[in-house]
Amino acid sequence: MTLAQAVAPPSQASRAIVILAAALATLIIVWILQGMGYQPCELCLTERIAFYVGAPLAALTGLLASRGDHSLARAGFALLALVFLANAVLAFYHVGVEYHWWAGPTACTGGLSGPVDVNDLMKDLNSVRVARCDEAQLRFAGLSLAGWDVVASAALAVYAGLSARLAR
C-alpha cells in the first residue's frame, strides 16, 4: 500500500476511518497536553466540540458506507465537512484573539465588566486560575495550538468535502 492509498483510500468506509483516526488522535493529543499541565481556555474547550462530534459521525459514516448506503455516507461526509469547516473558522478567530487582531470573549481575555468588589476579586484570585484565550500557552513549529487546530480542521473539512463528492 502506498502513502497515497493510505491517505486517500478508494472506499468510503476507509476514508471515514481516516477522519475518525484523525479526530481521535487530535483529542488524545490535547488530553495528553492537558494532563501535562497545559490548561485549555474557554475557546480551546469549545473547539474540541467539533472533534467530539466528528469522531462518532465519522464512525457512523463508515458504518453506512460499509453497509452499501453510499448516498447517506456522502451526506455524512458533507456534514463532517461543515463541522470541521465551522471549527476551522472558530480556531482562526481564536488565533486572531491570541495575536490581538480582535477582542476575544471577556470571560477569558481578562476584561472586566461592571463594578467589582475588591474582596470578591481577591478571593477569586486566590482560588481560581482561568486560562486566558489571548495568550498562547504553547507554540510548536511557530504555531499555537489554536493555529494547529486551524490547519487540522481545515484539512479535515477539505478531505471530508472531497470524500462527499466521490460516489464510493
pLDDT tens readout for residues 22-65: 999 999 999 999 999 888 999 999 999 999 999 999 999 999 99
Q: What is the span of the domain harbouring residue 141?
A: 7-165
114 in a structural domain: yes
Taking only the tens place, the pLDDT of each residue in 104-150 is 787 666 555 556 677 766 666 665 566 787 787 878 898 888 899 99
Task: Give the residue, 156 or 106, on which the prediction is more confident.
Answer: 156
pTM > 0.95: yes or no: no
For residues 42 and 164, what is the distance between their CA atoms, to the nearest angstrom? 32
pLDDT at position 97: 92
**481564536: which residue's cell?**
94
CB 78 within 8 A of CB 164: yes
1 in a structural domain: no
98 in a structural domain: yes
41 in a structural domain: yes
Total domains in the fold of the chain: 1
2 in a structural domain: no
Tell me the CATH number at 37. Answer: 1.20.1550
For residues 67 and 61, what is the distance between their CA atoms, to the nearest angstrom? 10
Q: Which whole number is the average pLDDT over 90-111?
A: 83
31 in a structural domain: yes
156 in a structural domain: yes
Task: Quote the distance between the C-alpha of residue 37 and its chain's center.
Answer: 19
CB 85 within 8 A of CB 147: no
pLDDT at position 116: 64
39 in a structural domain: yes
